[in-house]
Amino acid sequence: MSRVAQTRDVFTRQPLTKQRVLRAAVELADREGLDALTMRRLGSELGVEAMSLYKHVADKDEILDGIVELVVAEIDIPSVVADWRQAMRRRAMSARKVLSRHSWAIGLLEARGSTAPTTRRYLDAILGNLRSAGFSIENAVHAFWLLDSYVYGHVIQETRMQSSTHEMTESEGSVGEHIATNEFPYLVEVEQHALRSNYSFDSEFEFGLGLILDAIERNATQAVGCLAELTLDTATSGCRLNSR
């Protein structure tokens, strides 16, 4: 019996609940993408008629809201009192790991996750950590958006590259075998470098994350220094806060 069939068999032996419906929806989206998530298909996965699902969820919108909550709940929430840099690094790495498993969730997070309780606790914890560390409201927002944009972008690109590499390996072989070196010399050079240096998405993500955290720290430190100057001599100081 295949793993999918075993999973479906286990589901059909369990009583139907809202949590079971949502977990099945996450597994279906992970396996086949969000487009495959229909009430009829979800009912089939659970071994019931689609109408049976409406005893536990109002509609598909409630399912989408619920699976966003399940995904966010997997991400490490930073403590308010933790060192901000360590907390942001851990949170970013955890978010990347979780969203790599559920890459379909990125769009849903932005479209419908901001009012859900689990998501609000998660966002509040991130901002609370930064504010408790002395970040101004402006710099806390800068740091939050920059880190999330980096995580989301990396996951999207990584997912696409993995898919493209797999398809190419299955059907065509490596890029270098099919691209003329004299026509695209730098593209071939990068591929050869990646092969020689054991290139990994993990190391690339951590490298970029380190640069971003350095920049956030530098910007926040400059802002604190400027604030001190402005407090001492508001009339003569030429210092400006980095809060654009």
* Number of domains the chain contains: 2
Phi then psi dihedrals of residue 89, to 5 deg: -65, -45
Residues 6+ positions from 244 with CB-CB distance below 8 Å: none
Both 137 and 40 in one domain: the answer is: no
- pLDDT at residue 52 tops 90: yes
Both 18 and 81 in one domain: the answer is: no
Both 107 and 218 in one domain: the answer is: yes
CA quadruple 19, 20, 21, 27: dihedral sign: positive
Both 79 and 194 in one domain: the answer is: yes
The answer to whether residue 63 is domain-embedded is no
Both 31 and 88 in one domain: the answer is: no
What's the pLDDT band for 223 if we cut at 50, 70, 90? low
- Domain limits for position 53: 3-57
Taking only the tens place, the pLDDT of each residue in 113-134 is 667 899 999 999 999 999 999 9
Both 140 and 31 in one domain: the answer is: no
> Is 194 strand, coil or helix?
helix
Residue 74 neighbours by CB distance under 10 Å: 15
For residue 199 the two structure tokens come to: 């290139």
Taking only the tens place, the pLDDT of each residue in 146-186 is 999 999 999 999 988 876 554 544 555 554 455 566 788 88
Both 79 and 40 in one domain: the answer is: no
Dist. CA 50–CA 58, nearest whole Å: 12
DSSP assigned state of 235: T
Both 89 and 142 in one domain: the answer is: yes
Q: Is the pTM of this model over 0.85?
A: no
